[in-house]
């Protein structure tokens, strides 16, 4: 089993490209060393991140990430065991999703509500993540 944590957070940054490059560099270095894989997406002022790997490694890294001052309002959406990784080939994949992408409206709704719509279930979030990963150019 693989532990998977998915969260959404808010980015207050006015110097996004530089900050994101630094975040990604640290993420890829640490994650490769710790066997963590995942996706970091930037969607209209929000980060949406998937972290997956050995349970202890993922939880410890998430606790570090959630305290990072480069984002705020970190809301955990999923924390579960899954049979296999969604992003086995990525120490941290990156997608910047345009504000007019259909997924952006869903992300805005989650950010506003502070949770996935009740009853929508994990599958809806999985579909959203897959759509961002597949349809937004890297």
Ligand X SMILES: Cc1cc2nc3c(=O)[nH]c(=O)nc-3n(C[C@H](O)[C@H](O)[C@H](O)COP(=O)(O)O)c2cc1C
Instruction: Give the residues lining the site for ligand X (CB under 6 A).
Output: 23, 26-27, 30-31, 40, 47, 49, 51, 61, 64-65, 68, 70-71, 92
Cβ closer to ligand X: 64 or 123? 64
Nearer to ligand X, 57 or 125 (CB): 57
Closest Cα to residue 132, out of 92, 100, 104, 110?
104
Least distance to ligand X, CB of residue 91, Å: 8
CB of 18 to ligand X, least distance (A): 13
**Nearer residue to ligand X within complex by CB, 3 or 71:** 71
Place of tokens 């490209």: 17
Q: How far is the CB of 84 from ligand X (least distance, A)?
A: 19
Question: What is the C-alpha to C-alpha distance for residues 78 and 116, in angstroms, rounded to an integer?
Answer: 9
Chain-centre distance of CA 111, in angstroms? 13
Distance, in Å, from the CA atom of 46 to the CA atom of 54, rounded to the nearest integer, reads 26
């Amino acid at each position: 089993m693989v532990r998977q944590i998915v969260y959404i957070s808010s980015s207050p940054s006015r110097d996004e490209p530089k900050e994101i490059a630094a975040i990604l560099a640290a993420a890829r270095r640490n994650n490769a060393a710790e066997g963590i894989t995942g996706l970091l997406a930037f969607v209209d002022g929000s980060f949406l991140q998937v972290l997956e790997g050995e349970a202890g490694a993922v939880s410890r890294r998430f606790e570090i990430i959630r305290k990072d001052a480069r984002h705020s309002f970190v809301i955990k959406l999923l924390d579960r065991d899954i049979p296999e990784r969604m992003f086995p080939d990525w120490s941290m994949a990156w997608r910047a999703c345009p504000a007019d992408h259909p997924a952006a409206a869903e992300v805005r709704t989650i950010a506003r509500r502070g949770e996935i719509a009740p009853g929508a279930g994990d599958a809806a979030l999985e579909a959203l993540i897959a759509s961002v990963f597949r349809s937004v150019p890297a």
